[in-house]
Amino acid sequence: MNGSPVIDKQGQPSSGGVSIIDKSQGLTSQGGVLVIDKPQGWTSHDVVAHVKRKLKAKKVGHLGTLDPLATGVLVLVINGATKYSSQLDTGAKEYLTVARVGEETDTYDREGKVVASSDIAAVTDGAVMSALETFRGRIRQVPPMYSAIKSGGTPLYKLARKGVTIEREAREVEVYSLDVLRVQLPVVEFKVCCSRGTYLRSICHDLGRLLGTGAHLQELRRTASGDFSADEAVLPGLGPEELSKRIVPLDEALERAARASRKAVSGEQAGTSPE
């Protein structure tokens, strides 16, 4: 995107390949919440480690992982706020999702190996819309093998990398809203507001199964997590002082989390701007 900062492999804005961050800066962060716009290719752990090092914080965690392929809102809890993670991780998650119909992959996304492909000439826009309709409301969803869910203490993705597939129990999640934005086959773009623990990769995979063609996740961007939205998110490459300024104080963050929880119960969507 024109005008966007270039991010180097350490997540720092760069000019001509040279970091413009003064590496001598050090800043002890206060407890609170920092909303990061996760760049594509980073793991959530990468972001946590990078921000912890940059702010010289004692503790940093996150409120819900994002796959390396995904971008967008990754809510970090800093120092004392880590003790309140469960109270802060409330409300719905909101995503912009792009699925590609006609190919099924082992990881359910574009980074995996194509395991099946089909001709989509007979697939209609109406068929896609009808299939997506089935994902609204409370649904039971089987998580992908390539996920951080553990079996016997081992993350499923580690088993999957060894070629091991095990039965996964379906989990109940809730899709509060699903709005189709574009159907231009093989591409389908839609916006989802859902409960925590919902796998958008599984929705794309299951869409392909319903259509009989296969499908996988092509792009994913989280635009909101509870009351924290992309509008306030910052890139991890900002300097320590700027990052520190964007930390939401713990008291304010808890108030916003409580508000998001109430809105989720009443059926309102995530990402409302702070009052």
Paired with 14 in beta bridges are 19
pLDDT at 231 over 50: yes
Least confident of 36-40, 169-173, 238-242, 269-273: 269-273
Q: What is the mean pLDDT of residues 74-102?
A: 96
Among 21-30, 134-143, 257-266, name the one with the lowest average pLDDT.
Answer: 21-30
- pLDDT of 159 reads 83
pLDDT at 86: 93
Choice among 37, 46, 67, 119 that is catalytic? 67
Position 239 scores a pLDDT of 95
Closest CA to 132 of 209, 58, 70: 209
pLDDT tens digits, one per residue of 124-158: 999 999 999 999 999 999 888 887 788 888 888 88
CATH architecture of 93-222: 2-Layer Sandwich (3.30)
Answer yes or no: are the C-beta atoms of 202 and 144 closer than 8 Å: yes
In the predicted model, is pLDDT for residue 23 greater than 70? no
Where would I find the H helices in 76-124? Answer: 85-88
pLDDT at 138: 97
Half-sphere exposure of 110 (CA within 13 A, CB side): 14
Instruction: Report whether pLDDT(217) > 70.
Output: yes
The tokens describing 82, both together, are 């880590």
Give the lowest-confidence range in 107-111, 206-210, 216-220, 262-266. Answer: 262-266
- Over the chain, what is the mean pLDDT? 86
Per residue in 56-72, pLDDT (tens digit) is: 999 999 999 999 999 99
Residue 79 Cα to chain centre, angstroms: 22
- Of 18-27, 76-85, 119-128, 258-267, least confident by mean pLDDT is 18-27
The Cβ of residue 127 has, within 10 Å, a number of other Cβ atoms equal to: 18
Mean of pLDDT values over 165-189: 95
**What is the spatial distance between Cα 108 and Cα 100, in angstroms, rounded to a whole number?**
10
CB count in 10 Å sphere of residue 194: 24
- How far apart are alpha carbons 154 and 55 in whole angstroms? 31
pLDDT of residue 26: 34
251 tagged catalytic: no
Domain boundaries, the chain: 29-91+226-266, 93-222
Sign of CA dihedral 256, 257, 263, 266: negative
Residue 269: per-residue pLDDT: 56
- Round to whole Å and give the CA distance between 207 and 216: 8
C-alpha dihedral (236, 241, 245, 246), degrees to nearest 10: 0
Topology given in CATH for the domain delimited by 29-91+226-266: Alpha-Beta Plaits (3.30.70)
- Residue 155 CA to residue 275 CA, distance in Å, equals 40
User: Is residue 195 within 8 Å of residue 172, measured between CB atoms?
Assistant: no
